């Protein structure tokens, strides 16, 4: 960890970006030569979900394709909640952002004629996914951008600090409270800035089974919510249907592109089960496939991804990352079906932002998975996440570049949380288990009530800042899932299995609202008991 951890100035004219994934790195590069301080909890290239992305980036760059067709597919998958203008805007900016990434050295696959090679993934009407060596897009993009960041003089990189609180005054950002990621009981440090960009990633690690790194624990969402930011669509969590069940946490991912190449889903009896559930079978929207896989495992039939016929001996060459994960687990996917289960993969919800990436707090922007732009609605279209991250990172940089940002004031001596306890691993395990059991692929009212009440107590009482932030993010997801009494996209309620027209709108909420829901649920049993005693 750099010595600069103890040399942080109390005030800076820099734009402060929190997060070393795709959105954070791309935004920092786009802001050059403006001074930027980039804060990453893990060393660059590690701890970012985008580095693990196997699918690629969706972009209408193939012959006969168009941004309009791309946007239409995005809207169709989003179950009535996609902001159509946002989807179209992102699709139209795809080609120039791909060009930017090429300029930063990303080696996208090309065909024999030198054009960008494009593949197809679930629910896309055309081949429009640009890849790197089949399943290595995320790692290649992060490696190229990390190298560019390290060689950009205007970017001050600080690794090994985690943001645990957002500092505000009169509805505007004044800075951040940070702590040494390797020593959580150390005294925190503060950095003052009137321009903060949160690019901290998603919430997958809130679940017991996830494809996300441990850093994806909802910290950015939580610190923004605790500062009063509006949160959008937190109940919509996408579960990847084909996580490899190899006893690892996080679970390795079997990319959707495998099914695009013809791999099928079978149960333990060797029977395909998706054709009976949806006309697109294995290429149906992710929420439908995830519930299909979940149903087979819940019925003890097991679920497997079978690429023996579609790829066979070509597996290792076409999908080296998945192949390596299988071999490490003692499986040869060329001759054996791969055991799978749904895993928390992507959060459609997040900090509500406008078309420029601005949040409801002045001076705070958010990009990447921690944000919610309206592009994904209730269900994300495959490979749209990396595209959204670069599009909004560029928009944020442009918005900041054209804006006069006042010099920051000196921060007060008082800290938000001067003391911090080590995380209670049993409480963390319990939180993750409850999220998977009650706020997972299939939900119901009774389970959600238990979850909301549990997370509310933990959010109030946790002595660890990290655990408190996890509980904050979990409470936001569970409370909104309880309130949405219908099934839509990735949110499925077994007690409300149909879509309800009254809920055909995005959720906009706050932490205060989630706490009120928890308080009301806690009071209801007491009222019922009192009424019974009176009767």
Query: What pLDDT, on a 0 to 100 scale, did the predictor assign at position 409?
Result: 61
pTM: 0.90
Residue 508: enclosing H or E segment and its boundaries?
strand 508-509
Token pair of 392 as six digits: 């909004």
Residue 199 in contact with residue 366, Cβ under 8 Å?
A: yes
Cα three-residue angle 113-115-118, rounded to 5 degrees: 120
Of 263, 208, 245, 242, the closest CA to residue 329 belongs to 245
Q: Which two tokens stand for residue 418?
A: 């001067």
Alpha helices in 184-319 (DSSP H): 219-226, 257-260, 286-298, 315-318
Instruction: Give 230-244 as a DSSP string.
Output: -EE-TT-EEEEEEEE
Helices (H), 439-486: 445-461, 465-483
Instruction: Report DSSP state, residue 380.
Output: P
The residue with greater pLDDT, 25 or 528, is 25
Residue-level pLDDT at 532: 47
Distance CA 137, CA 434 (A): 33
Whether 286 is a known active-site residue: answer: yes
What is the CA angle 172-477-358, rounded to 5? Answer: 30
Specify the DSSP class assigned to residue 309: T
Which residue in the block uniquely carries the two structure tokens 């003391």? 419
- Which residues have C-beta within 8 Å of that of residue 535, sequence separation ≥ 6? none
Count of beta carbons in the 10 Å neighbourhood of residue 480? 26
Q: Which of 373, 370, 367 is nearest to 390 (CA)?
A: 367
pLDDT at position 32, please?
96
Q: Over 60: is that where the pLDDT of 6 sits?
A: no
Query: How far apart (Å, rounded) are the C-alpha atoms in residues 272 and 337?
Result: 12
User: How many degrees, rounded to 5, is the angle at CA 355 between CA 370 and CA 207?
Assistant: 15
* pLDDT score of 482 more than 60: yes
Handedness of CA 397, 403, 404, 409 (dihedral sign): negative
Helices (H), 124-270: 137-150, 219-226, 257-260
293/298 Cα distance (integer angstroms): 9
Residue 89: pLDDT over 70: yes
Structure-token pair, residue 403: 């804006």
Digit-coded pLDDT (tens) for 319-376: 998 999 999 999 999 999 999 999 999 999 999 999 999 999 999 999 999 999 999 9
* Percent of the chain whose pLDDT exceeds 70: 93
Distance of alpha carbon 127 from its chain centroid, rounded? Answer: 24
Which helix (H) or strand (E) segment is 38 a member of?
Answer: strand 36-40
pLDDT tens for 280-320 read 999 887 888 999 998 898 899 999 999 999 999 999 999 99
How far apart, in Å, are the Cα atoms of 256 and each of 40, 186, 387?
29, 42, 17
b/e sequence 428-448, b meaning 16+ C-beta within 10 Å: beebbebbbebbbbbbeeebb
Q: Report H helices in 104-153.
A: 137-150
pLDDT band at 518, cuts 50/70/90?
Answer: very high
Q: Determine the pLDDT at residue 503.
A: 97
Q: How far apart are CA 18 and CA 195, in angstroms?
A: 11
| Helix residue ranges per DSSP H, 162-245 | 219-226
Q: Tell me the per-residue pLDDT of 42-80, one tens digit each, with 9 for 90 and over.
A: 888 786 777 777 778 999 999 999 999 999 999 999 999
Question: What is the Cα 211 distance to its own chain's centre?
Answer: 10
> Which residues does 1 contact at the CB level (< 8 Å), separation at least 6?
159, 160, 180, 182
Mean per-residue pLDDT, 115-121: 89
Pick from 135, 138, 324: nearest CA to 246: 324
CA distance 45 to 414: 34
Catalytic residue (choose from 156, 226, 259, 286): 286
Q: Is 474 left (phi over 0), alpha (psi -120 to 50) or beta?
A: alpha
Residue 79 structure tokens: 């179950």
- Can you tell me the distance from the alpha carbon of 220 to that of 375, in angstroms, rounded to the nearest whole number? 19
Q: How far is 75 from 23, CA to CA, in rounded Å?
A: 23
């Amino acid at each position: 960890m750099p010595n600069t951890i103890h040399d942080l100035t109390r005030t800076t004219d820099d734009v402060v970006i929190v997060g070393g994934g795709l959105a954070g790195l791309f935004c920092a590069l786009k802001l050059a030569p403006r001074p930027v301080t980039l804060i990453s909890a893990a060393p660059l290239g590690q701890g970012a979900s985008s580095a693990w992305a196997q699918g690629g980036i969706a972009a209408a760059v193939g012959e006969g394709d168009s941004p309009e067709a791309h946007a239409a597919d995005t809207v169709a998958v989003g179950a009535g909640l996609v902001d159509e203008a946002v989807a179209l805007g992102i699709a139209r900016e795809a080609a120039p952002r791909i060009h930017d990434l090429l300029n930063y050295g990303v080696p996208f696959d090309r065909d024999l004629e030198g054009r960008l090679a494009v593949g197809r993934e679930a629910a896309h009407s055309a081949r429009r996914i640009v890849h790197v060596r089949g399943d290595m897009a995320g790692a290649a993009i992060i490696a190229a951008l990390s190298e560019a960041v390290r060689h950009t003089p205007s970017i001050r990189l600080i690794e090994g600090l985690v943001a645990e609180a957002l500092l505000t005054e009169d509805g505007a950002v004044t800075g951040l409270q940070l702590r040494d990621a390797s020593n959580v009981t150390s005294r925190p440090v503060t950095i003052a800035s009137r321009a903060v960009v949160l690019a901290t990633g998603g919430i997958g690690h809130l679940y017991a089974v996830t494809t996300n790194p441990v850093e994806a624990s909802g910290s950015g969402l939580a610190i923004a919510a605790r500062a009063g930011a509006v949160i959008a669509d937190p109940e919509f969590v996408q579960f990847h249907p084909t996580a490899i069940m190899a006893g690892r946490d996080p679970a390795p991912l079997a990319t959707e592109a495998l099914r695009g190449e013809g791999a099928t889903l079978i149960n333990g009896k060797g029977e395909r089960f998706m054709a009976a559930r949806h006309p697109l079978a294995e290429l149906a929207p992710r929420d439908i496939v995830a519930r299909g896989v979940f149903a087979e495992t819940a019925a003890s039939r097991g679920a497997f991804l079978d690429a023996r016929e579609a790829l066979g001996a070509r597996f290792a060459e076409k999908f080296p990352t998945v192949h390596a994960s299988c071999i490490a687990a003692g499986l040869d996917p060329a001759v054996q079906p791969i055991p799978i289960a749904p895993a928390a993969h992507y959060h459609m919800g997040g900090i509500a932002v406008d078309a420029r990436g601005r949040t409801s707090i002045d001076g705070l922007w958010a990009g990447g998975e921690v944000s919610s732009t309206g592009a994904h609605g209730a269900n994300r279209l495959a490979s749209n996440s990396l595209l959204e991250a670069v599009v909004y990172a560029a928009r944020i940089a442009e918005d900041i570049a054209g804006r006069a940002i006042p010099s920051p004031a000196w921060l007060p001596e008082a800290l938000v949380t001067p003391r911090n306890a080590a995380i209670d691993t049993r409480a963390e395990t319990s939180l993750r288990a409850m999220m998977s059991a009650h706020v997972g692929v299939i939900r119901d009212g009774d389970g959600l009530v238990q979850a909301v009440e549990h997370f509310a107590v933990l959010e109030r009482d946790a002595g660890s800042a990290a655990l408190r932030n996890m509980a904050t993010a979990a409470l936001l997801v569970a409370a909104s899932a309880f309130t949405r009494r219908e099934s839509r996209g990735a949110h499925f309620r077994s007690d409300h299995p149909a879509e309800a027209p009254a809920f055909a709108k995005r959720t906009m909420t706050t932490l205060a609202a989630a706490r009120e829901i928890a308080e009301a649920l806690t009071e209801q049993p007491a009222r019922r008991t009192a009424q019974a005693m009176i009767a």
